[in-house]
Chains A and B, each alone.
Chain A
Amino acid sequence: MQPVLELRGVTKDYSAHRAVDDVSFTVQRGAFFSLLGPSGCGKTTTLRLIAGFERASSGEILLNGRIINDAPPYCRNVSTVFQNYALFPHLTVRGNIEFGLRRKGVRDMAGRVNAAIDLVRLAGKESRKPSELSGGEKQRVALARSLVLSPDVLLLDEPLSALDPNLRLEMRAELKSLQQKVGITFLFVTHDREEALSLSDQLAVMNRGRIEQVGAPRELYLTPRTRFVAGFLGSINWIDGVGVRPEAIRLTRTAPQNDVRRRRARVESAVFLGNRLQVRSRTGAGELIVAEASHSEELRPGETVHLWWTAADELVLPPEPQ
């Protein structure tokens, strides 16, 4: 099947630096695809290139197999949910949602607008102005305003980052169910690995303008190809050049008998995290190892513990190029 969106070697140069460097990936129709990376990694610029707010310096952007590099934003059937929502402050909820349909000269506008308002559960608030809405409601207006146009791809630029933590979790679930309900392709930009891991069908990790790895969340977490991906998707210990995730490390008071990788270490701190205990300990050689223990363990700083894991838990990855 033809992918709905494809980037081929897309590069964006600014006068001082290269924001996006030879980025290629494909997004299948109906997928929830995330671009994950630290701030300044080029993920938002990539999104803006797809939306048409910026022009690629080189490379090709294809929407439904057609190159759209030179198409202005208003000629691309993609729609953006902005980080700050960018709702029109002079228009009501209904006016905001109608805005795109009016530009297209759609007939039966009222029916589609009402369906969109119901979809995001804003019935009864149609005539409010954005200033009279809560953060979550603004978010939903922004979603409805874009979804009502049935875009080929919905571009979401850190849409949850402006919400407070509880609401963020709630909207995360809502976003996923919304995407499944409407079946529209979502391209989701975030720096939050939990969001990316929990929402995405496919995930691309970006660093310094480049794509480090693309794959399903599980694949990227379990078999990262670079140290950056391994470290960005979860905490990791680097022991003798191999990576071991804290949850893979067992912690016992007596030395293990079987043939495993092991370290003897002195506990520096044991932090109670509710469902688990995070234990930071240092080996005789001075290595810092973070492990997770059951929250029923009682560990005190200074205690000697044995840390062990198996070869299968180790991630062997090439060192990062400088």
Chain B
Amino acid sequence: MNRVRAIALTPGAAVIVVLFLIPLAITCAYSALTRGAYFGLGPPWTADNYRRLADPLYGMVFLRSFALAAASTAICFLLGFPLAVFIARSGRRKNLYLHLVILPFWTSQLVRIYAWMFLLRETGLANGILQALGIIRAPLPLLYNDGAVLLGLVYAHLPFMVLPLYAALERLDPNLLEASADLGARPWTTLSRVMLPLAAPGIRAGAVLVFVPCLGAFLVPDLLGGGKSIMIGTVIQNQFTTARDWPFGAAMSLVVMVIVLVLLWVGAGRRGEDLL
């Protein structure tokens, strides 16, 4: 019996070891090594990479990234919740709408970001329409700023919020909402006292699924922020490409990971629940 169990668990364990534990161990090792003169890395072992992170410059980048990721998560929730409610209530059309939500994933994220650049740039569609309608004279600076980055992050991650919210709301017994109204609750009270508490697992899952990738995003801030809106993801990516400082990039990745884990832990521990 134990042998059967061991054999059955092997593929899963192998995936975890090969795809998660080994890369993590490599990252840990890299973060404590020294960069090579031209490329690559090697001994001696050092904690210098972590010490360099104490520079307030990186602290600012961390804070900016957290703020942008938090704002993206909040906006995704505000947009995604009504959308998920709508989909959960649309009966036979549910599947159609769900497919529409995930439709953007069928094309590369890079292509979709370029599409936004075409829309937002000074000679782009948005400015063109506004000028043609006479609402503005000079084109608005829609691209290469924090607003554009926020827009891009929300756009890219909205489905990750909508899907878990939908899953939670779809399970919600409509009788509970009727019971709430029946017992004297007005619509907003039903929302806050019944719907939101019961959708909490979906909200939590959606928040994590949006917040974490937003924190590490590098394509969106790079392309829509135009290098002016730096986030941790961009800095880390630079270490592995142009700066060719892998140990520093690895150290930064690990610090971000630890911070995210601690945040999740604190959030879950407060309610005595599982991490996700």
Contact = CB atoms under 8 A, between A and B. Distances in A.
Interface of A: 51-53, 72-74, 78-80, 82, 84, 86-90, 99-100, 103-104, 145-146, 149
B176 interface: yes
B175 interface: yes
Interface in B68-85: none
B173 A79 contact: no
B27 interface: no
B178 interface: yes
Given A73-B178, A80-B182, A103-B184, 4 more contacts: A53-B182, A79-B182, A86-B173, A89-B176
A145 B173 contact: no
Contact of B179 (A72, A78, A80): A80
A86 B173 CA distance: 8
A14 B244 CA distance: 68
B182 A73 contact: yes
B186 interface: yes
Contacts of B181: 52-53, 72-74
B183 interface: yes
Interface string B194-226: 100110000000000000000000000000000
18 contacts: A53-B178, A53-B181, A72-B181, A74-B183, A80-B182, A82-B175, A84-B173, A86-B173, A86-B179, A88-B198, A89-B176, A89-B198, A90-B197, A99-B185, A103-B186, A104-B184, A146-B183, A149-B184
B176 A88 contact: yes
Given A89-B198, A103-B189, A84 B184 contact: no
Contacts of B182: 51-53, 73-74, 78-80, 146
The 5 closest A-B pairs by CB, nearest first: A100-B183, A103-B184, A86-B175, A73-B181, A86-B179
Interface of B: 173, 175-176, 178-186, 189, 193-194, 197-198
Contacts of A90: 197-198
A90 B182 CA distance: 18
B197 A74 contact: no
A104 B173 CA distance: 24
Contacts of B178: 51, 53, 73, 80, 82, 86
A53 B183 CA distance: 12
A224 B92 CA distance: 43
A84 B183 CA distance: 16
A72 B183 CA distance: 11
* Main SS at interface, chain B: helix
A52 B178 CA distance: 9
A88 B185 contact: no
B183 A79 contact: yes
A154 to B, nearest CB: 11
A100 B185 CA distance: 7
A99 B180 contact: yes
Nearest to A75: B184
Contacts of B193: 99
A82 B183 contact: no
Nearest to B172: A89
Contacts of A51: 178, 182
Contacts of B194: 88
A84 B173 CA distance: 10
Residue with the highest number of chain A CB atoms closer than 10 Å, among B183, B186, B193: B183
Residue with the highest number of chain B CB atoms closer than 10 Å, among A53, A80, A89, A103: A103
A73 to B, nearest CB: 4
B197 A145 contact: no
Residue with the highest number of chain B CB atoms closer than 10 Å, among A52, A72, A99, A149: A99
Nearest to A103: B184
Contacts of A149: 183-184
A116 to B, nearest CB: 13
Given A86-B173, A86-B175, A103 B185 contact: yes
A86 B176 contact: yes
Contacts of A89: 176, 198
A152 B274 CA distance: 45
A99 B179 CA distance: 10
Contacts of B198: 88-90
Contacts of A146: 182-183
Contacts of B180: 88, 99
Contacts of A79: 182-183
A74 B182 CA distance: 5
B174 to A, nearest CB: 9
Contacts of A84: 173, 175
Contacts of B186: 74, 103
A233 to B, nearest CB: 30
A310 to B, nearest CB: 50
A80 B176 CA distance: 11
